C-alpha cells in the first residue's frame, strides 16, 4: 500500500532559527497522508508537520524549539484546517463489483429456472 504525504499549507514564521538565528527563514509545513492502491484512493485525517529553515537548509526538531516557537506552532496547529478525509473507489473496483453482482444474478436466475 503506497502511502505518501501531500503538502497542504506552508506558513512562514518570524521567529529566530535555533541554528542560524535568522528571523526570515523558518517555515512550518503541514502535510496530510494519502493512501493509494489499485482499488481506491483515500485522504486520511492523519496530519504531520515539520519546521524547516530555508536560510540554513536544516530541519528544526521539537527538541530545538524555543518557547516562542512552541507557542506559534501550537497556534498554527489550532488554526490549520486540513482537507476533509475521503475515499474514492476506482473504476476497476466498480467493474469487479458489477461483475460479481451480475454473476450472482445469473446464478440465481439459472437456479430458479
Q: Does residue 8 contact residue 51 with C-beta atoms inside 8 Å?
A: no
The tens digit of pLDDT for each residue in 22-62 reads 888 899 999 999 998 889 999 998 999 999 999 899 999 99
Q: What is the mean pLDDT of the chain?
A: 90
Start-to-end CA distance of the chain, whole Å, equals 44
| Residue 57: exposure state from Cβ atoms within 10 A (0-12, 13-18, ≥19) | exposed
DSSP-derived letter for residue 62 is G
| Proportion of the chain above pLDDT 70, given as a percent | 99
Predicted confidence band of residue 75 (pLDDT cuts 50, 70, 90): very high
Residues contacting residue 70 through CB under 8 Å, at least 6 positions apart = 62
Say if strands 40-53 and 58-60 run parallel, antiparallel, or are unpaired. antiparallel
Residue 60: in which H helix or E strand, if any?
strand 58-60
Residues contacting residue 83 through CB under 8 Å, at least 6 positions apart = 8, 32, 43
Amino acid at each position: 500500500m503506497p502511502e505518501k504525504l501531500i503538502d497542504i499549507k506552508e506558513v512562514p514564521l518570524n521567529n529566530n532559527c535555533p541554528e542560524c538565528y535568522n528571523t526570515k527563514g523558518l517555515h512550518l509545513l503541514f502535510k496530510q497522508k494519502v493512501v493509494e492502491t489499485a482499488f481506491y484512493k483515500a485522504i486520511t485525517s492523519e496530519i504531520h508537520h515539520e519546521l524547516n529553515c530555508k536560510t540554513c537548509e536544516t530541519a528544526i526538531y521539537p527538541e530545538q524549539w524555543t518557547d516562542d516557537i512552541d507557542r506559534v506552532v501550537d497556534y498554527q496547529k489550532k488554526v490549520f484546517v486540513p482537507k476533509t478525509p475521503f475515499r474514492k473507489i476506482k473504476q476497476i473496483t466498480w467493474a469487479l463489483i458489477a461483475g460479481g453482482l451480475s454473476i450472482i444474478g445469473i446464478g440465481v436466475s439459472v437456479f430458479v429456472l
